[in-house]
């Protein structure tokens, strides 16, 4: 049985519902949102904190109306000022390959929701997100190494069925 917004279904269900509601409320109020994607060579970079740059998509009426890039600061994502910079730009969603809990918490503290487990071409990813086909993998880095990061092979784009 479900009570009070799916409480018995668990944290993952509640998290997905929260993201869906936030997306639709934001869309209803503003009809605009910004999405950031850690990028390298037009693809989702495996690790948000060490990406080449961020691709920032402006969405209006559920369509991409602008695409810009922002250079990635040097150093680890959770220790850089990237979360504040993205918030100032109006970013409310990060679609990422993988990231540590510290970085995810830092982004969340700046009112930026995070969906992890993304991969592939950044344009196709954002289109899939706008179609409601992307869900958070729930996987994060279990270690934190600011030098040579561990391998993130096997991270796949998670589509809703």
- What does the pLDDT read at residue 20? 63
Place of tokens 């390959």: 97
The yes-or-no verdict on residue 153 having pLDDT over 80 is: no
Q: Which residue has the higher pLDDT, 140 or 105?
A: 105
Percentage with pLDDT > 70 across the chain: 61
What pLDDT is stored for residue 38 in this prediction?
93
Q: How far apart are CA 140 and CA 117, in angstroms?
A: 8
| Residue 49 to residue 76: CA distance in whole angstroms | 5
The Cα–Cα gap between 67 and 85 comes to 17
Digit-coded pLDDT (tens) for 111-127: 999 998 899 999 999 99
Residue-averaged pLDDT of the chain: 76
Please give the pLDDT value at position 134: 87
Residue 160 pLDDT greater than 60, yes or no: no
Per-residue confidence (pLDDT) for residue 40, from 0 to 100: 92
**46-65: pLDDT as tens digits:** 877 778 899 999 999 899 99
Is the per-residue pLDDT at 155 higher than 80? no
What is the DSSP annotation of 78-120?
TTSSHHHHHHHHTEEEEE-S--BHHHHHHHHHTT-EEE-S--S
Residue 135: its pLDDT value, please? 79
Above 90 in pLDDT, residue 42? yes
pTM over 0.75: no
């Amino acid at each position: 049985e479900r009570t009070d917004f799916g409480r018995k279904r668990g944290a993952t269900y509640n998290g997905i519902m929260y993201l869906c509601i936030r997306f639709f409320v934001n869309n209803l109020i503003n009809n605009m949102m910004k999405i950031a994607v850690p990028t390298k060579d037009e693809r989702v970079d495996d690790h948000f904190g060490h990406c080449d740059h961020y691709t920032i998509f402006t969405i209006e009426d559920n369509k991409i109306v602008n695409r810009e890039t922002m250079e990635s600061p040097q150093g680890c994502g959770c220790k850089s000022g990237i979360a504040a910079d993205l918030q100032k730009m109006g970013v409310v969603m990060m679609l990422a390959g993988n990231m540590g809990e510290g970085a995810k918490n830092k982004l969340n503290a700046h009112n930026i929701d995070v969906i992890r487990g993304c991969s592939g071409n950044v344009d196709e990813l954002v289109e899939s997100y706008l179609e409601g086909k992307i869900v958070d993998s729930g996987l994060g880095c279990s270690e934190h190494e600011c030098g040579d990061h561990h391998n993130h092979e096997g991270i796949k784009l998670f589509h809703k069925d």
